[in-house]
Chain A
């Protein structure tokens, strides 16, 4: 059955979704960029920390060098506390120094590597080294002192705990910010894409909510600029479809109208012939056959017109009003009471204790129910019954029509809604094969569902229609 196919199911080997493409195209470069920025940031941080710490280290070295003096050919040093004070930090780094003159250690840690041997006066240099098993940063500067041959080299070193601590601290902040940024991107981009693509979803909802016979164009203003072309192509397609459907509909309506007058001719002359007496038995039986054929033709014409109307019916929201379903079923059944009597079918209605209200178009609903009751009487057996009941449950208003006819095997229950399908080709059932098709078309228009089942008695057919109600959710 065609309706079982979900129109939104993904076909095999489909192309990736727009959302997927956008997410892939945005998130991957964003994350890569964030990583690159992070690495570059880390390098800059390391440089900056080194530069700042080196400046302090050099200042400390300057402070020591400033106190160097030459007293009687001897180099003297008055170590100022501030020279090391500026190097104090939380990491409790060790500070080392040496003072060399002409390759001789004058004072300080003699085993500190000498790196400033090649320096000219006023020059300095930094290196990273390992001292006593710990990484250190070492600065060496050369100075010429008055009245002294050769250059004095001052070296100051500190372990790198403090620098690492600061670097780590800054890197940690940087990393946290980067992480936050990436997380934000991961969360925001899909949201932004969904928001950006929302007009598409809305457009689809507009199309989905359409009635099968609604060929009015989709307003271009509703579509985002990028989709205008697509929507107007779709509208053009709708228009051509509308013309085609309208053509078929008008043809069947016109054809049916044209048949009404010849049918009237037949009816009036048959009535005349019946009045004319005497006629012999063979003529009477011929006349009866003609009469019945006219009945069938007439019903077919009426049904075709009804089907044309049902297909063309777009229930105006204004016509969907609260409607007394019991009254409606009573009226429809009463109209068919004579037909039931002629076929010796007992027609009865189970009256509910409470009134049952549906939100529907009264005329279309009447036509729907009439077709179902007509079917139940027509496809029945002599001395059979048609039992009607009306009730409200689960937020819907229900009409149940049970007959004692041959029933419909479960396998055929979908097929009988097709046009011109008649399960029993026997001549007793002068149906057009359109009753259920009309009911289905009207049901679709009214959001009323028609279900076929077997009655509890096991005999015949039970047709149930449920209509929307004011307190139930819309179907």
Chain B
């Protein structure tokens, strides 16, 4: 539960965003222009600001610059309709913490918000959920549909790397480099063994681990 400010001049998008955020259990305030946003950010201690670049009075870049000038350290996630690299670089240079291109996947927005909130509130969300699988980073407990899965050290290490990037391909070499230490004397293809074991243990109702030959492995959130 955190307090979040949405700065967006399009009323329909603003309503959609705030409802989505409210649905994930946060308190939402809405500003429709840059001046309101600055005033509200000054008065209230927000845990996160979602800031559109195209605002009617000043640009989102200006709002961000003035926030940072005032010493506000609140995380800012910028939304933009322009997918040029320069816009992205400019936003990040001005002190934006993340950047999303419209139209965005609401799930992606929620994931980014979670990451930013984790940083700002300092408390890592210890349980990661991917489909029926949940992974508690603190206790190391792994469950699929509340059924506990027993993993060995290397299998757990593999899962930890894959679950950090669900839906993304993790190259095999990188996975191996992260799972094995330098002094581990292992065959180059040993990682395949651990992935195969982990895959068997997550079956049948857990998320699938896909092998993409020549590319790497991916935890498929389904």
Contact = CB atoms under 8 A, between A and B. Distances in A.
Given A265-B10, A338-B218, A349 B167 contact: no
B79 to A, nearest CB: 8
Nearest to B21: A268
Most chain A CB within a 10 A radius of its CB, from B10, B81, B101: B81
A283 interface: no
A261 B100 CA distance: 12
Interface of A is mostly: helix
30 contacts: A257-B81, A260-B103, A261-B13, A261-B81, A262-B12, A264-B16, A264-B102, A264-B103, A264-B104, A265-B10, A265-B12, A267-B104, A267-B105, A268-B106, A269-B16, A271-B106, A272-B19, A275-B20, A275-B23, A298-B103, A330-B214, A334-B212, A334-B215, A338-B220, A341-B218, A348-B214, A348-B215, A349-B214, A363-B85, A388-B214
A338 B218 CA distance: 8
B103 A266 contact: yes
A272 B16 contact: yes
B13 A265 contact: yes
A337 interface: yes
Interface size class of A (residues with CB under 8 A): 20 to 34
Contacts of A340: 212
Interface of A: 257-258, 260-269, 271-272, 275, 294, 298, 305, 330, 333-334, 337-338, 340-341, 347-351, 363, 388
B42 interface: no
A341 B220 contact: yes
A271 B110 CA distance: 11
A187 B177 CA distance: 73
Interface in B71-97: 79, 81-83, 85
Interface residues of B, number: 33
Interface in B13-65: 13, 16-17, 19-20, 23, 54
Contacts of A338: 167-168, 218, 220
Nearest to A269: B16
Contacts of B168: 334, 337-338
Given A260-B103, A268-B106, A338-B218, A348 B16 contact: no
A267 B50 CA distance: 17
Nearest to B104: A264
B218 A337 contact: yes
Contacts of B176: none
A341 B213 contact: no
B103 A348 contact: no
A27 B17 CA distance: 84
Interface in B144-203: 167-169, 171
A405 B35 CA distance: 54
B13 A268 contact: yes
